[in-house]
Amino acid sequence: MIERMTLHILDSDSARRAKLARLAFAAGHHAEIYASAEELLAHAPARGLVLAQDEPVGEGICNLIASIMRAGQWLPVIAIAENPQTSTVVRAIKAGALDYLDVPEQIGPLNEAVARAAREADAQRAQRGRAAEARQRIARLSMREREVLDRLADGCSNKAIARDLEISPRTVEIHRMKMMGKLGARHASEAVRLSIEAADAPGVVAA
C-alpha cells in the first residue's frame, strides 16, 4: 500500500503538466500544478514533493532550488527530463534535488521515486530541525565565545586558542565556561556536535 502524497508538479508546458497530474492521480496521489517557480513559491506549499521539469535542462532545477532557498523555504524536489545526461543528474543532485528521473510514464516507477524521495525528505527535515536548534543556541553566544567555539571545533587546545586570539589561557577558560553554559553543553564534545549540526543541513550555511 503506497503512502498518498501531494505532488506539486512544476512544468511550463500545459500538456505535460496535465499528463503528469493524471499519472499522479492514477498512482494514488494528489496533484497540484504550477506553470512557473514564481507561482509555486507564491503558494509556498508546506508539505508534499515537488516534481519539476528541468528546463532549461541542466539549469532549471539548480535555478529552482536557488530560488527556493532565497525565499527562505525548503521543498523536497524531484527533477525530471527526457533522457537526462549523467552530468546533468549529478549537477541537480549536488544543488539539492532528492532524485532525477526520466519523465515517468508508468505508475510503478513514479511510486518508487516518490517513496525514495519521501524517505529522504523525512531524514532531511529531521536534520534541518537539529541544525535550526543548534543555530538558535549558537546565536546566544558573544562574538568571542563563538570564536572560542569555532576553534574548539577545529580541535584546538585552550593554549592554542589563547595564542590565536591573543588572550590568556585563563580568559579562554572563562569564555569557554560561559559558552558551554549558553549552549547547555555538559562536555566539550556536545558543544562541538552543536557546531557541526548548525552547519550540517543540506544547502544551509550557518550564520
| CA gap 156, 165 in Å, rounded | 12
Q: Does the domain made of 139-198 have the CATH classification 1.10.3720.10?
A: no
| CA gap 14, 152 in Å, rounded | 54
pLDDT at position 123, please?
A: 82
Given the C-alpha cell 531524514, which residue does it identify?
123
For 6-133, the fitting CATH number among 2.60.120.470, 3.90.1200.10, 3.40.50.720, 3.40.50.2300 is 3.40.50.2300
pLDDT at position 99, please?
A: 93
Q: Bridge-partner residues for 77, per DSSP? A: 50
**Helix/strand/coil for 67:** helix
Q: Which residues of the chain have pLDDT under 70?
A: 1-2, 200-207
The domain spans of the chain are 6-133, 139-198
Given the C-alpha cell 503558494, which residue does it identify?
43
Give the Å distances, CA to CA, from 99 to 152, 192, 205.
36, 31, 22
Residue 102's CB is within 10 A of a number of other CB atoms, namely 11
